[in-house]
């Protein structure tokens, strides 16, 4: 079946997808305009898998992805992850020089990530928001104005544009973690690290509720990679906790025991989001 991704084409999500599938994927790829649209396509069976962002090194969690995973109640699980470096480039139509640019367009998150370059190299140049970095490049490519966009190399190639300046981001360690979602858990086979992701929803607000959850992992020496709270949308003060931990539920008894203990003791309702191979940044 086709594999989807958070679109449009030319975004960092598509770059990350091609890292997983290869530059000439055997399966067709389908862009979706929003995270809910992408995840619903998997739930409905329209596509087999979908790649969406879940966490950025600078901006933190992608709340739309977390909320959709929680609402799916285990019907959608994480099957793989990839950590993709975010490299911002200043892109313009061929023939437009850096000193001619009168406006810089990009996604609202990308513009502040390039603050130092814009302040020192583009002082006085107007900035404007676009729906995505790829859409900013498309707008620039179709305009007769001397505009530039901040975006990925893939978008520049797609729209026949030129690179005015490379790697203009303030933080060179910026990266986004993407997850491949599907309907069935993956088998825990092969070498390497595995990660298990869950959501813990306490049945009531009580003192020490979060501590009780964490103690089940601490007493079994399970390392937690991420702990994120999100409202349950059931009223003020009601929160759920997204947890990533080292290990696989299938082959690490301690992980399975901790999850069972949390549920058996009515500490929290647990939504299993998957056990999957740990991803990483590409080699330099």
Q: Which residue has the tokens 């810089």?
A: 104
Q: Is 89:167 a contact under the CB 8 Å cutoff?
A: yes
Task: Provide the 10 A C-beta neighbour count for residue 168.
Answer: 20
Mention every residue, 6+ apart, whose C-beta is less than 8 A from residue 283: none
| CA separation for the pair 222, 278 (Å, rounded) | 15
Per-residue pLDDT of the chain (284 residues; tens, 9 = 90+): 789 999 888 889 998 998 888 767 778 889 999 999 999 999 999 999 999 999 988 888 899 999 999 988 889 999 999 999 989 999 999 999 999 999 999 998 889 899 999 999 998 899 999 988 999 999 999 999 999 999 999 999 999 999 999 999 998 888 999 999 999 888 877 778 899 999 999 988 788 889 999 999 999 999 999 999 999 887 777 889 999 999 998 889 999 999 999 999 989 999 999 999 887 655 44
Give residue 136's Cα distance to chain centre.
Answer: 20
| CA separation for the pair 77, 57 (Å, rounded) | 22
- Angle of helix 35-44 versus helix 63-71 axis, rounded to 10: 30
Tokens (6 digits) for 168: 């203009």
Residue 23: DSSP 8-state: S
Its pTM stands at 0.86
Q: What is the DSSP string of 225-280?
A: EEEEEEE-SSSTT-EEEEEEEES-TTT-HHHHHHHHHHHHTTS-EEEEEEEEE---
Q: Is 58:113 a contact under the CB 8 Å cutoff?
A: yes
Closest CA to 210 of 239, 247, 245, 249: 239
End-to-end CA distance of the chain: 32
């Amino acid at each position: 079946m086709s594999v989807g991704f958070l679109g449009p084409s030319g975004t960092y999500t598509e770059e990350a997808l091609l890292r997983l599938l290869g530059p000439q994927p055997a399966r067709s790829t389908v862009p979706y305009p929003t995270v809910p649209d992408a995840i619903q396509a998997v739930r409905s069976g329209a596509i087999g898998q979908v790649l969406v962002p879940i966490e950025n090194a600078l901006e933190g969690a992608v709340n739309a992805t977390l909320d959709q995973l929680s609402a799916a109640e285990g019907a959608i699980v994480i099957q793989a992850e990839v950590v993709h470096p975010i490299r911002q480039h200043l892109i313009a139509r061929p023939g437009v020089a850096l000193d001619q640019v009168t406006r810089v367009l990009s996604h609202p998150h990308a513009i502040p990530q390039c603050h130092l370059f814009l302040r020192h190299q583009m002082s006085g140049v107007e900035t404007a928001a676009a729906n995505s970095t790829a859409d900013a490049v498309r707008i620039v490519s179709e305009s007769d104005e001397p505009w530039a966009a901040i975006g990925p190399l893939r978008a520049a190639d797609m729209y026949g544009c030129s690179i005015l300046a490379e790697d203009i981001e303030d933080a060179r360690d910026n990266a986004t973690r993407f997850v491949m979602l599907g309907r069935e858990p993956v088998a825990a086979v092969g070498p390497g690290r595995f990660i298990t992701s869950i959501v813990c929803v306490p049945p009531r607000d009580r003192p020490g509720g979060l501590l009780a959850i964490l103690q089940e992992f601490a007493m079994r020496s399970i390392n937690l990679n991420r702990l994120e709270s999100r409202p349950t949308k059931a009223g003020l003060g009601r929160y759920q906790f997204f947890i990533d931990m080292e290990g696989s539920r299938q082959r690490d008894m301690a992980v399975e025991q901790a999850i069972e203990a949390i549920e058996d003791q009515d500490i929290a309702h647990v939504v299993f989001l998957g056990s999957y191979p740990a991803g990483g940044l590409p080699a330099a």
